[in-house]
Structure 1
Amino acid sequence: MSKFIYLYKGPATPMDQFTPEQSAAQTEAWGAWMSRVGPALVDAGNPFADGAAVVDDGSTAAPSSDVTGYSIVEAESLEAAKNFTQDHPFLAEGNGRFRLEIFELIDMQM
């Protein structure tokens, strides 16, 4: 089994800007997805807050990415990790503004 990271990309609305009804609907949708994935969900992850980029010349800058959060799953293959995105709440809009990028995490033996 390998671990795969899901990177959430898109203009996600911060949770503190949801109405109570929207918050309840999001909580329910995420809970349903997490239940479907079950023990393969190694780390449910978190949304990202403010960040910074450290540049190789020693300077800092604002991050240039629209990555808004992550999750980690365990799966037999990249295809199996992709299958866990079925009915994923982050992809529910269906207008192409949101995407989930999946990368296998390589075990670094040192």
Structure 2
Amino acid sequence: MSKFIYLYKGPATPMDQFTKEQSEAQMAAWGAWMEKTGPALLEAGAPFAPSRTALVDDGTVAEASDLNGYSIVEAESLAGARALADGHPFLSDGNGKFTLEIFELGEM
């Protein structure tokens, strides 16, 4: 089994800007996905806070990308990690603005 990190990218709305109903719907969707994923979900992860920066190797600072959170799963293969993302709430809008990037975590 390998570990894979899901990186969430897109213009996500901060939870504190949702109505109570929107917040409850989001939490229910995430809870359902986490329950479906079961023990393969090694770390639910967290959203990234708004404070961010990007340091460049030439010593300058650039605008950070719109990465906005992560989770870590365990699967037999990249295809298995992709299958675990089926029904993921981050991909539910269907408007092409959001991506879930998957990377296998290597050994140091």
TM-score normalised per structure 1: 0.92
Q: What's the counterpart of residue 105 of structure 2?
A: 105
Q: Per the alignment, in what secondary structure is the counterpart of residue 8 of structure 1? A: strand
Q: What's the counterpart of residue 52 of structure 2?
A: 51
Cα distance in 1 for partners of 2:90, 2:30 equals: 9
Q: What's the counterpart of residue 75 of structure 1?
A: 75
CA RMSD of aligned residues (A): 0.9
Percent identity of paired positions between Structure 1 and Structure 2: 68
Cα distance in 2 for partners of 1:60, 1:38 equals: 40
Alpha-carbon deviation of 1:59?
Answer: 3.0
Listed one character per residue, the Cα deviations across residues 22-61 of structure 1 (whole Å, up to 9, x for unaligned) are 0000000000000000111111111111211122233333
Q: Which runs of 5+ in 1 are unaligned?
A: none
Q: Per the alignment, in what secondary structure is the counterpart of residue 58 of structure 2? A: coil
Cα distance in 1 for partners of 2:73, 2:56 equals: 30
What is the number of residues matched between the two proteins? Answer: 107
Q: What's the counterpart of residue 60 of structure 1?
A: 61
Q: Which runs of 4+ in 1 moved over 2 A?
A: 57-62
TM-score normalised per structure 2: 0.94
Q: Which runs of 5+ in 2 are unaligned?
A: none
Cα distance in 1 for partners of 2:6, 2:28 equals: 20
